[in-house]
Structure 1
Amino acid sequence: MSSATEPTLRIENLTVAFRTDDQWREVVKNLSLTLNAGETLAIVGESGSGKSVTSMAIMRLLNMRHARISGSVLLNGVDLLKLSESAMRDIRGNAVAMIFQEPMTSLNPSFTIGHQIAEALINHRRISKRAAREETIRLLDKVRIPDAAKRFDDYPHHFSGGMRQRVMIAMALALRPKLLIADEPTTALDVTIQGQILDLIKTLQEEEGTAVLFITHDMGVVAEVADRTLVMYQGDVVETGTTAAIFSTPAADYTRTLIATVPQPGAMRGISGPQKFALPGAELEATAPSVTAQQPLLSVKNLSTRFSVHEGLFSRKTGAVHAVENISFDLMPGETLSLVGESGCGKSTTGRSLTRLVKASAGQINFDGHDVLQLSNPELRQLRSAMQMIFQDPFASLNPRMSVMEALTEPFLQHRLGDKAAAAHKAGTLLERVGLSAGMLKRYPHEFSGGQRQRICIARALMLDPKMIIADESVSALDVTVKAQIINLLLDLQRSLGLSYLFISHDMAVVERISHRVAVMLLGEIVEIGPRVAIFENPQHEYTRKLLSSVPVPDPARRHLKRNVEIRELTSPVRALGFVPETRHYREVSAGHWVMQ
């Protein structure tokens, strides 16, 4: 029997090792922590630190043929590591629940979301289907799913990413667990949806008194949700304490680095150009010169891109997705223009339309004096050497069967810019330029970390001496310190090579660091565009203000505040046949700062 003061969770000397190459490698080393009812403890660290393995060990979800666990994990005084598998099944979902990072891989696409939540209630509470349905609808209401009763029979693919994560939270809380483990629950979400989810977890915790173990690499999120924080690095606990103390007087160098990479809202006030992150060895000066050119490198006029929607037995066209709708903007030589907005706003389709990876429906694209939409395929191929793209997932962008040498030299040789010797020399030089070693050219993609692979993709883009790079969510999947390093690298390259960037992102904190100008997109349209200072310090459109208010602030004093962001899903961009969009009008607020009326 546990005492009244017994912590909800007590971990003592937890060590987890995995068997690789006939050896045991420890990935979590002698971890100890306590977590009380109603308290939030954040475990923070980058990929490979052991934080997610810790959560999997608590839930006993590791494959014990390849893993070895020692120590103790006590839930209300009961050691979970000593329970039988059948007893552990009763614990999972009932006393301990878990929210994973990617809800679409956690939800079964073959069953409705109502069925999946009700199933847990029926199996654990032994209640009728009717009672389970009523309770499920109550839970969906509680996590702010609009029209919960009507959406009980919807499938996961009918929901947006944020709404799917709400379903996962409803499922996790269905049996009122004493402990909720949230493993990177907001990392894959847009900033406004992230704000909603953080508010929701706070509210539900207050109502139920649940203990929350919050796992993340984002120190901005930690500051807003955690009472206490535990910092991990390569399996070791490097620092632990109250969140306020961790932020005000961090003891470990690694913790100081993590905090330094969290953009401080307002820190860019009075600075007109981009600025590097304050990493060890990085200077704080603006690293990209002011833009003085008179003629744009890229000019986009009334660009629209639509995708046909076909339905029925004969695949009859019934409408179109208006992914990009009548947008116009210029990009100057040496300038960074950021396209920002939530998933589905059309920013990635815009980038792909510029390079004709997708076919534009209407408009004009003029790049370096060339009408892009009128070019023949050979002409377009030649032009693409000056307009390169860097994608979000560097591993998917690199052929796993090609060495780094082959990946870098292939475009150079295909465009016949020199022989193999010249290509190899340039590849080695560029690899050094992006912070890697020329000795790594013989390696393959799987031998590099995510940040190193993204550096390789940047080097590959530079092989053709481009004038412009379209960076499509190119740092979204990276750890916080690696993200800061890549941003600093891009700014250094812009200064030395005069590159122009079209930077596509939903991360407003990163956008504030890297941009000269910002264009805010909503449902395929630009609703506000202007200098970065104007957009961040004097936002005019309601949607822009909503995006900015949702950025996590690295201030532990805000821990109990809620943003109260309006809960809604983005309106569908699908339009019926014959739909004619209304003519939009813009008002100039200040020099170069335009907002849709």
Structure 2
Amino acid sequence: MTTPILSVQDLTVAFRSEQAWRPVVHGVSFDIGPKETVALVGESGSGKSVTAMSIMRLTPRDSTRTGGRVLLEGRDLLRLPDAEMRRIRGDDVAMIFQEPMTSLNPVLTVGFQIGEALRLHRGLSQRQAEAETVRLFDKVRIPAAASRVHDYPHRFSGGMRQRVMIAMALACRPKLLIADEPTTALDVTIQAQILDLIKLLQEEEGMSVLFITHDMGVVAEIADRTVVMVDGRAVEAGATEQIFRRPVHPYSRALLAAVPTLGAMKGQPHPARFPIVDRATGEPEAAVPLPDTVREGERPVLEVKGLTTRFDIRGGLLSRVRGRVHAVENVSFAVRAGETLALVGESGCGKSTTGRSVLRLIEPVAGSVLVDGEDVLGLSPSALRACRRRMQMIFQDPFASLDPRMSVGAAIAEPLLINRLCSRSEARARAADLLRRVGLKPEMASRFPHEFSGGQRQRICIARTLALEPRLIVADESVSALDVSVKAQVVNLMLDLQASLGLAYLFISHDMAVVERVSHRVAVMYLGEIVEIGPRAAIFGAPQHPYTKKLIAAVPVPDPGRRRQLHAVRSDEIKSPIRPVDYVPPERLYREVAPGHVVQVWGPEWEAPAGMAAVA
């Protein structure tokens, strides 16, 4: 039998809280063999990140009590002196964190930060360290590596910053790489690139990987074995294929049931709720079919024509306009009552700016936005305030959307009081009713935002959005940051509310698998323009534009049998939307390939580079 690189035996972790020790990890054990990838899976609060931090001995020393054994090739990391542990970190064991921008020093170049590790651990000179950094940048596929080593972190996109972190982790050729949610905050195409990169580098370097995630689709793509955690305990462990085919523990079955799978909606004409499995029994709840909610004969709730939003870039002594960000360029679409139009694309494509421009949270420079036939862009401030009762927004981060000093009941009642729609006592009663409607208890109204989980906070934001009985809701990445099972619950809630209230949704997301389940129509954005729009079945079943095909090809497939396959995704960054002051956008041509399915005619820039197959 092969000796494991890492053996975690009966690991326990407790944090000191108010003079008492609170256990958070209970007797977790697993092994990682040479060149093996083990996934540690669970929702937020399951203890998986604490387990990884304890392996690296990065938890606060004064407030943490750790027990058990963590053996790295026979050496117990929990018993080593601090100096020896410092040598092991980055040398024998390296770690990639979820948010690269918080892991990189913003005042130092990325080359200096990687070179520092090379000089400290491998004893290289400054010139040798810079040459090795360039080689590492080439290895992780960062374009123009020799020039980019002198750039600061803010000059890189999110995906490229994560590549820098991988280069830093690989600098000392570790035997074990711990990747803690390295793709959670990334767009689907960037996520595919990072997963492919980790697979390739693992083959080349022969290292073992501990991959921490809550995304079962990612687990299927990368892990040889999987350990499922809940409430600080490992409840199931085994070969990834076995856990996906025949999960034993009810919690494992509940996690897998909530995974959005691309292609699951084939043949279904309307959006459908996620199947929910009881995590205590593992039994599926009864499926609730949704009716066709789109009101075809009525005038659309939202009509957008030629919407254009640009931001000036100023510089120089007199702050003259030096250029413009063409964030949204000549965008047109409509949304009917009871309909969900999904706006999809990578970060920087302009989808969130489009949503904010529709509500006039950002002022567009051209176009028209009609809500129930009324032009929002021409309204006075007082008329706009009245119009906003009919259109509301759900933001991505519910915690940042709620006042931490205000109880959730007061936060839900506030729009009613500001618009003078009822008395304080009536507003409190209405807030209690809204909490009940979104699946929370009325008595929770007196609690504050920090006392709720992320999914519960998003439900509170939805309740506040419904307070004014809007006709249109702009949901801006409203489920992107949620765990997979919580995401399923919130999406089901939104679909149920749409069915009962006839709401029109502009659903902004980069998660194509979720979009396929919730949307009636889909609009694909690239560099501020809609490149393809049509019915959901047409976009996913017969995509036409190369960019749409790229997005769909990048979606992780929850099938362990495909985990050795790489994605057919180009690794280039999304182009910059910054243009000169005198730039005139070219006239775009569109063709209708099927009823309601319109695609922008593309140029040679979308042809696959030499030596690379076209995006399938």
- Partner in structure 1 of residue 76 of structure 2: 79
- The alpha-carbon deviation at position 164 of structure 1 amounts to 0.3
Residue 503 in 1 paired to residue 500 in 2?
A: no
Query: 3-state DSSP class of the match of 2:497?
Result: helix
Query: 3-state DSSP class of the match of 1:412?
Result: helix
8 A contact 2:335–2:504 mirrored in 1: yes
- Partner in structure 2 of residue 466 of structure 1: 470
8 A contact 1:355–1:387 mirrored in 2: yes
Residue 10 in 1 paired to residue 14 in 2?
A: no
Residue 244 in 1 paired to residue 244 in 2?
A: no
Residue 553 in 1 paired to residue 557 in 2?
A: yes
1:271 & 1:437 partners in 2: Cα distance? 34
Task: State which of 245, 250, 267 in structure 1 corresponds to 2:264.
Answer: 267
8 A contact 2:93–2:175 mirrored in 1: yes
8 A contact 1:339–1:502 mirrored in 2: yes
1:461 & 1:241 partners in 2: Cα distance? 43
- The alpha-carbon deviation at position 286 of structure 1 amounts to 3.3
Question: Which amino acid is the alignment partner of residue 395 of structure 2?
Answer: F
Q: What pairs with 1:205-244 in structure 2 (closer than 5 Å)?
A: 205-244=202-241
Residue 456 in 1 paired to residue 453 in 2?
A: no
1:284 & 1:534 partners in 2: Cα distance? 25
Deviations 1:277-314 (A, max 9, x none): 00033525235534423411111100000000011232
- The alpha-carbon deviation at position 64 of structure 1 amounts to 1.4
- The alpha-carbon deviation at position 363 of structure 1 amounts to 0.5
- Partner in structure 1 of residue 611 of structure 2: none
Q: What pairs with 1:173-192 in structure 2 (closer than 5 Å)?
A: 173-192=170-189
Query: 3-state DSSP class of the match of 2:446?
Result: coil
Query: 3-state DSSP class of the match of 1:430?
Result: helix
Question: Which amino acid is the alignment partner of residue 531 of structure 1?
Answer: P
Query: 3-state DSSP class of the match of 1:26?
Result: strand
Deviations 1:195-251 (A, max 9, x none): 000000000000111000000000000000000000000101110000000000000
8 A contact 2:118–2:124 mirrored in 1: yes
Stretch moving more, 4-13 or 23-32: 4-13
Residue 423 in 1 paired to residue 427 in 2?
A: yes
Deviations 1:158-215 (A, max 9, x none): 1000000000000000100000000000000000000000000000000111000000
8 A contact 2:554–2:568 mirrored in 1: no
Task: State which of 335, 351, 359 in structure 1 corresponds to 2:355.
Answer: 351
Q: What pairs with 1:327-342 in structure 2 (closer than 5 Å)?
A: 327-342=331-346
Gapped runs of 5+ residues in structure 2? 278-284, 602-616
Regions of 4+ moved over 3 Å:
none
Query: 3-state DSSP class of the match of 2:293?
Result: coil
Task: State which of 190, 194, 216 in structure 2 corresponds to 1:193.
Answer: 190
Question: Which amino acid is the alignment partner of residue 86 of structure 2?
Answer: R
- The alpha-carbon deviation at position 315 of structure 1 amounts to 1.6
- Partner in structure 1 of residue 496 of structure 2: 492
1:284 & 1:585 partners in 2: Cα distance? 42
Q: What pairs with 1:285-434 in structure 2 (closer than 5 Å)?
A: 285-286=289-290, 288-434=292-438
Task: State which of 124, 129, 132 in structure 2 corresponds to 1:127.
Answer: 124
Stretch moving more, 219-228 or 276-285: 276-285
1:518 & 1:293 partners in 2: Cα distance? 20
TM-score (normalised: structure 2):
0.95
Q: What pairs with 1:564-583 in structure 2 (closer than 5 Å)?
A: 564-583=568-587
Query: 3-state DSSP class of the match of 1:31?
Result: strand
Q: What pairs with 1:42-53 in structure 2 (closer than 5 Å)?
A: 42-53=39-50
- The alpha-carbon deviation at position 350 of structure 1 amounts to 0.4
Deviations 1:528-549 (A, max 9, x none): 0000000000000000000000
2:206 & 2:540 partners in 1: Cα distance? 37
2:450 & 2:291 partners in 1: Cα distance? 32
Query: 3-state DSSP class of the match of 1:329?
Result: strand
Deviations 1:395-442 (A, max 9, x none): 000001001121011100111111112211111111000000101111
Query: 3-state DSSP class of the match of 1:350?
Result: helix
2:337 & 2:2 partners in 1: Cα distance? 64
Query: 3-state DSSP class of the match of 1:351?
Result: helix
Task: State which of 419, 441, 444 in structure 2 corresponds to 1:440.
Answer: 444
8 A contact 1:288–1:494 mirrored in 2: no
Question: Which amino acid is the alignment partner of residue 175 of structure 1?
Answer: C
- Partner in structure 1 of residue 29 of structure 2: 32
Question: Which amino acid is the alignment partner of residue 198 of structure 2?
Answer: I
8 A contact 1:293–1:333 mirrored in 2: no
Query: 3-state DSSP class of the match of 2:567?
Result: coil
Deviations 1:242-283 (A, max 9, x none): 000000000011100110111222210111211100003352
Percent identity (aligned): 63
Deviations 1:443-496 (A, max 9, x none): 111111110010000000000000010000000111110000000000000000
8 A contact 1:287–1:491 mirrored in 2: no
2:290 & 2:561 partners in 1: Cα distance? 30
TM-score (normalised: structure 1):
0.98
Query: 3-state DSSP class of the match of 1:441?
Result: helix
- Partner in structure 2 of residue 111 of structure 1: 108
Question: Which amino acid is the alignment partner of residue 327 of structure 2?
Answer: A
Question: Which amino acid is the alignment partner of residue 425 of structure 1?
Answer: A
1:104 & 1:127 partners in 2: Cα distance? 26
Query: 3-state DSSP class of the match of 1:317?
Result: strand
1:322 & 1:563 partners in 2: Cα distance? 30
1:294 & 1:562 partners in 2: Cα distance? 46
Rate the CA distance shift 1:120–1:189 in 2: closer, same or farther, 3 A.
same
Gapped runs of 5+ residues in structure 1? none
Deviations 1:515-558 (A, max 9, x none): 00000000000000000000000000000000000000000000
- The alpha-carbon deviation at position 576 of structure 1 amounts to 0.4
CA RMSD of aligned residues (A): 0.9
Between Structure 1 and Structure 2, how many residues are aligned? Answer: 594
8 A contact 1:275–1:287 mirrored in 2: no
Q: What pairs with 1:133-212 in structure 2 (closer than 5 Å)?
A: 133-212=130-209
Stretch moving more, 332-341 or 20-29: 20-29
2:455 & 2:176 partners in 1: Cα distance? 33
- The alpha-carbon deviation at position 564 of structure 1 amounts to 3.8
1:219 & 1:52 partners in 2: Cα distance? 16
Rate the CA distance shift 1:284–1:37 in 2: closer, same or farther, 3 A.
farther
8 A contact 1:430–1:463 mirrored in 2: yes
1:380 & 1:163 partners in 2: Cα distance? 40
8 A contact 1:455–1:486 mirrored in 2: yes
- Partner in structure 2 of residue 21 of structure 1: 18
Rate the CA distance shift 1:251–1:584 in 2: closer, same or farther, 3 A.
same
Deviations 1:47-104 (A, max 9, x none): 0000000000011001011110000101011110011111111000000000000000
8 A contact 2:389–2:468 mirrored in 1: yes
1:331 & 1:594 partners in 2: Cα distance? 16
